[in-house]
Amino acid sequence: MKVSVFGIGYVGAVTSACLADTGHTIIAVDTDPVKVQCITDGRSPIIETDLDELISKSVKEGRLSATLDAKEAVANTDISLICVGTPSKKDGSLNLKYVELLCADIGKMLTKKDTFHTVVLRSTMIPGSAMNIALPILERESGKKGGVDFGFGNNPEFLRESTAIFDYYNPPKIVVGALDDKTAQQIMALYDGIDAPRIVAKIQIAEGVKYADNAWHATKVAFANEMGNILKEHGVDSHKVMDIFCMDTKLNISTYYMKPGFAFGGSCLPKDVRALRASSNNKGLKTPIFDALLEANEQQVQRAYNMIKESGCKKIGMLGVSFKAKTDDLRESPLVTLANLLLDDRFELLIYDVNVYRAKTMGGANQDYINNVIPHISKCLVETPKELTSAAELFVIGNPGEDFAEILSSVDVSKPIIDLVRIDKALESREKYAGICW
């Protein structure tokens, strides 16, 4: 395939070299004559392991060239990859001026092309930037329609500096967002021969994946450092602890706990995070990550409360009050916290949770907790789904109880549902359905 790569910085240089190495014909484009000359001379414009050799080889074999002439590049290629920088502004937001200027230039060039040309954003941008900023500029300047007269998509990169070439050939995934299937297939074909999971998604989702990845990587570094500081103060070798921690691929290094939803609770997580903070603070250590964990958890409960309050409904039916389905455990359940907020604000509350209802009469610690510690919530418990559905104006799905989706499937569609766990996609087609964070 004939490809023009705009921006010979870190991403653009690596992308150009690797695409050329896999058999594509590449024209690298930049406004900086020094970078263009580096490629022309068969040298890398950046320091990156093995990149000099890869560029030299591809230039000698005639598969990689560089130019200052953007018009020539677009005219002589089938697809353009935008790899220009998106630096931070003073307030932390992205400066997209390079993307905007380039999209305007490419749009003008598309007016002179009779053949179908595809424009792909590889620069990292906040979700919505492609559709709300880049595409309108391309369509305005070209007078053409994206997805019809020209291809448009995005293709986030997952390259780490110093190991970028290895990462290119061994990616964790290849993600493509596109307006149409033809464009998606064209972009994906750039990576023929590379073994990796291949995902085609909406453009905004592809944008979001890059940010989820980088935010998670940053979180892991900060978490590991904070945990290491705490362990050191307790005389523990943090590397040995984390070596064992990382061996757990069922819970720790896995997809578990990674679906957006409601706050965490139960007898372990809140208590243990507080204990780590307290013991660390006693030793003079600050724990910003763990402080933020508890604050974020409280905010998620508040978010659910705000959604309920903004609905204007006063009779609330809550399905599930234990912190986890298939249990009667109410210890530090965020749903109990949510129920308290509603009752304090004089909402009428009914709660259906068959396991908790049974626990009222089973004896033991949970019976004592329900009847004596939270008697005001105990009074809200109903025995049957009908008692809930006949009286409530709005329903809150608190945990993924086995029968909750079936119960709500027969509820009048005029009654709103607020889902904290994404229990059943069939419910999402209802006009008055709202997920807490989806």
What is the sign of the dihedral through the CA atoms of 206, 103, 120 and 149?
Answer: positive
The answer on 207 and 302 residing in a single domain is no
Question: How many domains does the chain fold into?
Answer: 2
Residue 255 lies in a domain: no
Secondary structure of the chain: what % helix, strand, coil (to 5)?
45, 15, 40
Closest CA to 296 of 250, 324, 260, 349: 260
Q: How far apart are CA 359 and CA 158, in angstroms?
A: 50
Instruction: Say if residue 77 is in the same domain as residue 175.
Output: yes
Cα angle: 99, vertex 104, 109; to 5 degrees: 120
> Does 387 score more than 80 pLDDT?
yes
Catalytic residue flag (residue 268):
yes
| Residues 313 and 197 placed together within one structural domain of the fold | no
Q: Single out the residue in 151, 182, 212 at which a domain terminates.
A: 212
Task: Tell me the percentage of the chain whose pLDDT exceeds 90.
Answer: 95
Average confidence (pLDDT) over 157-183: 97
| Residue 117, in any domain of the structure | yes
Domain boundary pick from 212, 235, 258: 212
- Predicted confidence at residue 227, as pLDDT, reads 97
pLDDT in tens, 240-267: 999 999 999 999 999 999 999 999 999 8
The whole-chain average pLDDT of the chain stands at 96
Q: Which domain holds residue 399?
A: 296-435
Nearest to residue 396, comparing CAs of 352, 359, 431?
A: 352
> Residue 369 — very low, low, confident or very high, per pLDDT cuts 50/70/90?
confident
Of 170, 6, 34, the C-alpha closest to 101 is 6
334, 300 contact by CB (below 8 A):
yes
- From start to end of 239-347, where are the E strands? 315-319
- pTM higher than the cut 0.85: yes
pLDDT band at 371 (very low <50, low <70, confident <90, very high): confident
Which pLDDT score is estimated for 135? 98
Q: How far is CA 335 from the centre of its chain?
A: 25
Per-residue pLDDT, 306: 98
Segment (H or E) for 289: helix 288-311
CATH number at residue 417: 3.40.50.720
With beta carbons less than 8 A apart as the criterion, state whether 38 and 65 touch: no
Q: Specify whether 200 is located in the same domain as 60.
A: yes
Residues 159 and 23 reside in one and the same domain: yes
Residue type, 429: S
Q: Which helix (H) or strand (E) holds 388?
A: helix 385-391
User: How far is it, in rounded angstroms, from Cα 367 to Cα 19?
Assistant: 65
The single residue of 18, 268, 313, 437 carrying the catalytic annotation is 268
